[in-house]
Amino acid sequence: MSDFPLPDYDLLGLKELRERVRALGCDEVSEVLAHERANAGRTPVLRVLIGWLDLLEAGASPVPRPEPA
């Protein structure tokens, strides 16, 4: 998963996922969503991903994450 949109995805808690997913565009969220559906299928995670994808499709823009200090 070296090119996966969210490094360490499988280790992220729901709170961190909510924050980090906002930096992703539609294609990246779709990739993460497909991965989640094919693997763990966690309902709260699916809700976060689908919710952000819906917002993107409605015109929202990704929010760049600040670089770590």
Residues in the chain: 69
Give the Cα separation of 23 and 13 in Å (integer): 16
Q: Where are the domains of the chain?
A: 17-57
pLDDT tens, position by position, 10-64: 899 999 999 999 999 999 999 999 999 999 999 999 999 999 999 999 999 999 8
pTM of the shown model: 0.89
Cβ neighbourhood burial of 18 (10 Å; 0-12, 13-18, 19+) = middle
Measured CA to CA, the distance from residue 54 to residue 69 in angstroms comes to 32
Distance of CA 2 to the CA centre of its chain: 15
